[in-house]
């Protein structure tokens, strides 16, 4: 209803919008929904914020540097607003934090709309109110948002798409702000997910990434509440998505090691479309630190899980997230993290320096690690990871890899780019009609962040 009204208000005006997304794939997916709604309201997208009539920020608060990014950009945007009267909307995870909204009100009072993670679907209404009433809107609720289906969506890619399967998190890892800003776990109905994947397949999409803060808890709460659903676990969902014709690859992020049950391992093994690269967040390799982090597994349990999967799933590889410098972490404890990295031999490691988050238990811990120490550890880990990746890359040479061709290479128009099952970027020479197809390539050379291939 509001979409239609705003569309009428915008008629013949050639209005433009820019959207700036920070943070994880869930946020990117939310931004695609925002863009979908905004475009239906008559706006066209521009990457140049200077010419935008509407600027939307979709923020992240998982680490401090994500926050700094917003405040830096807001300074720039203030001038644009003064010049053109641009509507400024700020949404996403950061807006669920009271101290941030207070800071905005005090130091950046020129914003028009502030919206949280639970009120995304009300964006057209908020925008309508701003255009008509010019009254600043703060639309943030702190209850766990209902799941709203059927929002328009403007996807960034034509071959790969993300599909959110569950919202929120119940784990409360002691360093993490997510459970406070995204609320409790709730799962989308399988029929809605499968319908979305089917529609994507019909449109020609080839790769689906199933998204959630904790995907292997899919339907856990609904089961506890005795809701009568046909599909009641993540494993069952994988089998169903695997049946959808046209989809060639299925990925998922992120599972939690503590919930990685045998039925999920079996589903990964049996579902031919499920990629054998498993993202398995480690966070720390030390049992004491893991306990303080409230991760609910030990170093040995993590390693056993990896071993079990290596045994069960042919060609399985792993990627992970690691935090260095968690409060109280000693040099010796950090060595355990390096030890696990050596043992698992990850395909990719996303490394983070611990960042204090207001309101989390770890922020209140007294034994914070000095910044300098954190950086030393970070660099040590980075060196080990880069060494391992370089070694791994060498092992790809002369192998045959199935590659999903994603498009033209960004840096070289004559080359195409694609990814292996293990998510390695491969660049190669080929005709444009290969885009969207899975083809066999022979790997001929390796570079730190990509491989070069030849069509077989």
Which residues lie near ligand SF4 (CB under 6 A)?
A: 169, 171-173, 176, 178-179, 213-214, 256
Answer for the pair 111, 104: CB distance below 8 angstroms, yes or no: yes
Nearest by Cα to 154 from 327, 14, 36: 36
Number of other CB atoms surrounding residue 148 within 10 Å: 12
Residue 323 binding: pick among ligand SF4, ligand 5AD, none (C-beta 5-8 Å cut-off by kind): ligand 5AD
Nearer CB in complex with ligand SF4: 110/350: 350
Smallest separation (angstroms) from ligand SF4 to the CB of 178: 4
Nearer CB in complex with ligand 5AD: 110/350: 350
Nearer CB in complex with ligand 5AD: 28/321: 321
Nearer CB in complex with ligand 5AD: 145/281: 281
- Give residues in contact with ligand 5AD (CB under 6 A): 62-63, 175-176, 281, 283, 321, 323, 352, 354-355, 357
Nearer CB in complex with ligand SF4: 18/214: 214
Smallest separation (angstroms) from ligand SF4 to the CB of 214: 5
Smallest separation (angstroms) from ligand 5AD to the CB of 88: 27
Smallest separation (angstroms) from ligand SF4 to the CB of 251: 17
Residue 214 binding: pick among ligand 5AD, ligand SF4, none (C-beta 5-8 Å cut-off by kind): ligand SF4
Smallest separation (angstroms) from ligand 5AD to the CB of 7: 37
Nearer CB in complex with ligand 5AD: 67/207: 67
Smallest separation (angstroms) from ligand SF4 to the CB of 283: 7
How many alpha carbons lie under 13 Å from residue 259 in its C-beta half-sphere?
18
Q: How far apart are the C-alpha atoms of 204 and 305, rounded to whole Å?
A: 36
Residue 352 dihedral angles phi and psi, to the nearest 5°: -130, 140
Residue 122 binding: pick among ligand SF4, ligand 5AD, none (C-beta 5-8 Å cut-off by kind): none
Smallest separation (angstroms) from ligand 5AD to the CB of 321: 3
Nearer CB in complex with ligand SF4: 161/169: 169
Smallest separation (angstroms) from ligand 5AD to the CB of 400: 33
Nearer CB in complex with ligand 5AD: 31/420: 31
């Amino acid at each position: 209803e509001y979409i239609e009204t705003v569309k009428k208000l915008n008629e013949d005006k050639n209005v433009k919008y820019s959207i700036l997304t920070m943070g994880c794939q869930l946020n990117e997916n939310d931004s695609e929904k925002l863009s979908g709604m905004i475009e239906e309201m008559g706006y066209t997208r521009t990457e140049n914020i200077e010419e935008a009539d509407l600027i939307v920020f979709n923020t992240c608060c998982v680490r401090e540097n994500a926050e700094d990014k917003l405040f830096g950009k807001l300074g720039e945007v203030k001038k644009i607003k003064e010049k053109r009267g641009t509507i400024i909307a700020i949404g996403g995870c950061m807006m669920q934090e009271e101290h941030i909204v207070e800071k905005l009100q005090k130091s950046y009072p020129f914003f028009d709309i502030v919206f949280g993670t639970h009120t995304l679907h009300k964006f057209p209404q908020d925008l309508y109110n701003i255009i008509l009433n010019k009254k600043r809107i703060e639309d943030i609720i702190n209850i766990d948002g209902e799941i709203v289906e059927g929002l328009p969506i403007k996807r960034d890619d034509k071959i790969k798409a993300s599909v959110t399967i569950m919202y929120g998190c119940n784990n409360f890892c002691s360093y993490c702000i997510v459970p406070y800003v995204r609320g409790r776990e709730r799962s989308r109905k399988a029929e809605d997910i499968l319908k979305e994947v089917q529609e994507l397949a019909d449109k020609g999409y080839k790769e689906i990434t199933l998204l959630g803060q904790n995907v292997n808890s899919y339907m856990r709460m609904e089961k506890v509440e005795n809701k009568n659903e046909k599909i009641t676990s993540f494993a069952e969902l994988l089998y169903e998505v695997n049946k959808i014709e046209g989809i060639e690859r299925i990925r998922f992020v992120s599972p939690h090691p503590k919930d990685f049950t045998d039925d999920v391992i079996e589903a990964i093994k049996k579902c031919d479309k499920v990629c054998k690269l498993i993202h398995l967040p480690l966070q720390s390799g030390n049992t004491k630190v893991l306990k303080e982090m409230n991760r609910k597994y030990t170093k040995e349990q993590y390693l056993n899980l990896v071993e079990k999967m290596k045994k069960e799933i042919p060609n399985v590889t792993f990627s992970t997230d690691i935090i260095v410098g968690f409060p109280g972490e000693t040099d010796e404890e950090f060595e355990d993290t390096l030890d696990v990295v050596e043992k698992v031999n990850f395909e990719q490691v996303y490394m983070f320096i611990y960042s204090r988050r207001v309101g989390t238990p770890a922020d209140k811990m007294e034994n914070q690690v000095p910044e300098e120490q954190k950086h030393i550890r970070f660099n040590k880990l980075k060196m080990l990871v880069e060494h391992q990746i370089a070694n791994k890359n060498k092992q790809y040479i002369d192998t045959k890899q199935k590659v999903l061709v994603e498009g033209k290479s960004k840096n070289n128009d004559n080359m195409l780019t694609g990814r292996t099952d293990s998510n390695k970027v491969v660049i190669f020479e080929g005709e444009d009609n290969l885009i969207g197809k899975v083809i066999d390539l022979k790997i001929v050379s390796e570079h730190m962040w990509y491989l070069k291939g030849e069509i077989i």
